[in-house]
Amino acid sequence: MRRRDLVQLLCASALLRPTQPAAQVSGRIRRIGWVETWTLLARNDWGEVAEHLQPLGWRRGSNVRVEMHVATTPAQLSMLAKEAVVAHPDLIVTNGTPATLAVLAETRSIPVLFFEIADPVGNGIVGNLSRPSGNVTGFTTFEPSLGGKWLQLLTEVDPRVQRAAILFNPETARNRASPFVREFEAVAASLSIEPILAFAQDASGIEPVIATLAAEPGGALLVLPDVFTFSQRRLIIDLAEQYRVPAIYGTRYMAATGGLLAYGPTTEGLYRGIASYMDRILRGANPGELPIQAPTRYALVVNLGTAKALGLTVPPSLLAAADEVIE
């Protein structure tokens, strides 16, 4: 499903309004389990969400308490998910696909609210975006059509692109990133570009991909946003510059730290939306009846310093379209 269909489907502005006045929150303390996936961008998601919960009548340490379960290695997720479920909280919030799957493997009754997930249907988390059913709902991030958009942007900054590889770890990008791959391959065919699926299961698999692209003119790289590529961000960015391969990423942070281009959803409205859904669920709403929410705003970031290092001239039209240009 494309972004425009999701926007028509979800009617987010109405769904994210609080259902009752804040004063009607009862005195019972609600307990939340928060399960985070390893290697995600170090940021205080709970702190941001808590700020938006306060106007809805929820104050951390007072009538709502959160127990954090943060995995530092993939092997810890199963254990942390069990810990979160055994505590029998009123709600479990999960960040990322692996954490969400781990929690759902332990419970189909405790309400689960996810975010930072690209393909909840393909990963078997929900069966339907408009009516998820069961005990789970949440917020998607990278919709599949971005696989084609990233390639189009790369060809704008470098029209000589003849071959493009999409890099990801099939172990962390569940479902082998198939929705993104379909869009990527379809757009590649329309542009007469050879599409390459580049799998890397550890850091040692990254350099061969980029070196192969650089061996002949016209190579380009799409870095699929997942926990693996983010954890290896410095290596990927450095190798792309070393081998002079133009690359595009899905988060602003990647361009801000040396990547050529980034295009992806902003967090604008995300924390407010998570807080609104938490409020609804804590007041008794059934997660399975709350539609999956999609991003409403995307941002393009261009790093001119990296473009210069790669010998590329960014066209004025792309600079004009950029939300941020890093000198």
Has residue 95 got a pLDDT over 60?
Answer: yes
Q: Residues 179-209: pLDDT tens digits?
A: 788 899 999 999 999 999 999 989 999 999 9
Q: Is the pLDDT of residue 11 over 50?
A: no
> What pLDDT was estimated at residue 39?
54
Q: Structural domains in the chain?
A: 3-142+266-297 (3.40.50.2300), 146-264+299-326 (3.40.50.2300)
pLDDT digits (tens, 9 = 90+) for 132-151: 999 999 999 888 889 999 99
> Which of the pair, 289 or 14, is modelled with greater confidence?
289
Strand partners, 261: 248, 302
Res. 2: pLDDT tops 50: no
Average the pLDDT over 74-94 and give the result: 96
Average pLDDT, the chain: 89
pLDDT tens track for 207-220? 999 999 999 999 99
* Residues forming beta bridges with residue 197, ordered by sequence position: 166
Backbone angles phi, psi at 275, to 5 degrees: -60, -40
Q: Are the C-beta atoms of 151 and 191 separated by less than 8 Å?
A: yes
pLDDT of residue 4: 40
CA 114 to chain CA centroid, nearest Å: 11
Distance, first Cα to last Cα, the chain: 36
**According to the model, what pLDDT value does residue 101 have?**
94
pLDDT at residue 16 is higher than 60: no
Render pLDDT for 51-65 as a digit per residue (tens, 0 to 9): 999 999 999 889 999
Q: Which two tokens stand for residue 202?
A: 């550890």
**Longest C-alpha distance within the chain, in Å?**
67
Structure pTM?
Answer: 0.82
